Amino acid sequence: MDTVSPVQSSHTPSLANILAILAATAMFFSTLEYLVPKPVPFLRIGLANIPILVTLRFLRPRHVVALALLKVAGQGLINGTLASYVFLFSLFGTLASIAVMLAAMRLGGERISLVGISTAGALASNVVQVTLSVLFIFGPQSWVIAPPFLLVGTVAGVLVGLLSERFVRVSLWLPRVQRDYRELVPEASR
């Protein structure tokens, strides 16, 4: 583990603050995505997943889940969709994506890139969301929209993965978060 000077230690944010700033970054990306014009309203790039992806390799699974829940609840509160089907779709899509991304990372280790992890997560999220919308909104006739929806979702997953890889390479902030997190959660260093 890196040695940390007493001055730096006294300014180490708490675990709650680390999760809060990561979730706030996700919400900021979500706001950015809202500004990007979309040809079809159902299309989403998933930029808000970048903070989850870039921390996936060092956060403990329980903290990844906490971060994802914060992101989803924050979006629900800001957008006002907390009490609607949009929130449930987002929640189940995110949880499915997290489960698949964690599994992919565990199975692939360092051999799988963030692009691979992101694509797997995007695919899981889209499968869940398409299934929910077919079951509860559009009816069984709408399975025809599944292939193009999944294709676009996969492309978006690749894009988010590429952006995450780039951010990991240039960021000075992320190594700080990682070091502080490992100081706060010692078992994360193992």
Partner 1 sequence: MSLRRQHPWMLGNISARLLLWAGILVLPAYLVQSNLLVRIVQVVLFAYLATLAGKRLQWFYFTTIIITITLFHLLVPSGVVLASVGGFRLTLGALRTGLFKALTIVGMVFISLVAVRADLRLPGRFGMLLGRMFWSFEQIMENRGELEARRPFLSGDRLLLSLYDRLGTMEERHAETQGRKATAATSSLSGIVIVLIIVVAQWVMLVVTLP
Buried b (16+ CB within 10 A) or exposed e, 11-30: ebeeeeebbeebbebbbebb
Could you tell me the smallest distance in angstroms from the CB atom of residue 167 to partner 1?
6
Binding piece for partner 1, criterion CB under 8 A, among 65-73, 90-98, 113-121, 147-155: 65-73
- CB nearer to partner 1: pick between 102 and 183: 183
Contact 180, 14 (CB under 8 A): no
* Dihedrals phi, psi of 42, to nearest 5 degrees: -80, -15
Binding piece for partner 1, criterion CB under 8 A, among 22-30, 92-100, 101-109, 119-127: 22-30
CA 173, distance to chain mean position in Å, is: 18
Q: Which of 65, 69, 112, 123 binds partner 1 (CB under 8 A)?
A: 69
35 sits near partner 1 (criterion: CB under 8 A): no
Contact 30, 48 (CB under 8 A): yes
116 sits near partner 1 (criterion: CB under 8 A): no
Output the six-digit token pair for 43. 């299309």
Q: How far apart are CA 45 and CA 43, in angstroms?
A: 7
142 sits near partner 1 (criterion: CB under 8 A): yes
Three-state DSSP state, 91: helix
Binding piece for partner 1, criterion CB under 8 A, among 67-75, 93-101, 103-111, 122-130: 67-75
Contact 179, 13 (CB under 8 A): no
Could you tell me the smallest distance in angstroms from the CB atom of residue 135 to partner 1?
13
- Please give the residue ranges that form the binding site for partner 1 (CB under 8 A): 10-14, 16-17, 19-21, 23-25, 27-28, 31, 40-41, 66, 69-70, 73-74, 76-87, 137-139, 141-142, 166-167, 170-174, 176-177
